[in-house]
Every structure is written in C-alpha cells, then in structure tokens.
A = this chain, B = another copy of it.
Amino acid sequence: MRHLEELHDNGWEKVSSAQLGAQLGLTPSQIRQDLSCFGAFGQHGYGYDITQLSGALKTILGENAKLNAILLGAGNIGKALLCNFCFEQCGICMKAAFDINPEYVSTKIFGVGIYDAKELENYVKNNRVDIAVLCLPKAAAEENAALLKQLGVEAFWNFTNTELFPPESDAIIENVHFSDSLLALSYMLTERKEKNVEPNKRLCG
C-alpha cells in the first residue's frame, strides 16, 4: 500500500503485477497470488488501477475500521509517537495516554490528554479501547498488559522490548523490538565482513 501511494504521488494511474514485482523484489505471480487471497483485483491486459487497489488494501488493513487506541508511558518513545506518528492515517483514533509521572499528568501532547496511570482501569472499563500502545519500561510492561487484557483489550503495539504474554496467549501483538532489529543488522554486517576477509572462518553455513 505504501508503494502504491508513492506511485500515485508520482503520477502513476495503473500498474501491472510485473511492474509491481520488479519494483518490490517479488515475482509477478507472488503479487497476483497474494492479492487473490483478498478478492479479485486488476484486469488481464490492463493491470491494477492504483487508486482502486490502494483503496481496497486500506479497507482490508482496517484503515476504515476506526479503532480506538490508548498509549501507556509518555516518556521519550511515547512522546515521539504522539508527536510524529500519524495514527489517523492508519485509521486509529488515539484517545488518551497514561503515565505515572506527575509532571506529565493533565498535560496534552499533540492534542492527546495525559492521565494518571491510576485512572487507567476506570478509563478502560468506561471506554472502548481496541489497541493499547505500550511504551512502558520493561519492568511495568507485563503487569499492565495483563491488566488490560483482563479488561478486554485484545491488541497490543509493543515497544517495551520484552514479551508481554506467554506464547499460548490469544492476545494480538505487534512487537517493535528495537534491539532485535539493530542486532539483526549488525549480525548481517559482521557476517558480510567476515565472509570478505576470511572465507574459511565463517560461523554459519
């Protein structure tokens, strides 16, 4: 969808699965097969109408679902998300943020009110909360996630760098584990350097 929007911004109106594949590093048949999971898109010999396809993908991804979110932990990462990330564009309404720091409580960040963490339970009982964005310190993460889950919150966007629930939990979780990502990067780089320098001393393969 990001790519289709970029094409649209650059004046494209239609695109074939061959073009999309080449641009995204996939085969045309992967493109067609993946899309066919969700319905019939595109026309043989014409390709995909970009506005139509990107609108359909938006609906599929839930951008029109109007989900309500709250954020826990208005420290630097939390604040950076509130200030920079366009939740609206993903169809999410960011309703409230919670923190234990009295300096933050009763202020607003980018229009979002910050409430005392003590009010969390009451808030969730009295308002529909679809997604909890967790930007808490690791030590507070599990406990708060368990509380929210018990109160009926099903989906968690997790920035706490720890696993929120045991593997058998039915919570819906998207982890943004910064250190995993950076370690993956340095692993790939280190591996390439080793391969170039001493091809017989590689760790793997």
Binding site for B on A (CB under 8 A): 1-3, 6, 22-25, 37-39, 60-63, 65, 67, 75-77, 79-81, 83-87, 89-92, 130-131, 154-157, 161-163, 166-168, 172-174, 176-190, 192, 203-205
Contact = CB atoms under 8 A, between A and B. Distances in A.
B187 A61 contact: yes
Of the candidates A61, A79, A87, A205, the one having the most CB atoms from chain B within 10 angstroms of its own CB is A61
Contacts of A39: 203
Nearest to A22: B167
Nearest to A176: B181
Nearest to A75: B84
Q: How many copies are assembled?
A: 2
Contact of A77 (B60, B84, B163, B186): B84
A186 B65 contact: yes
Given A157-B181, A161-B2, A182-B157, A189 B167 contact: no
Contacts of A181: 157, 174, 176
Given A77-B80, A80-B77, A176 B178 contact: yes
A204 B61 contact: no
A115 to B, nearest CB: 21
Given A60-B203, A67-B190, 7 more contacts: A1-B183, A2-B162, A23-B167, A39-B203, A60-B187, A90-B182, A174-B182
Given A161-B2, A188-B172, A192-B172, A37 B76 contact: no
8 contacts: A2-B161, A22-B167, A61-B187, A77-B84, A90-B183, A154-B189, A157-B185, A174-B185
Nearest to A85: B178
Contacts of A131: 185-186, 189
A188 B157 contact: no
Contacts of A168: 25
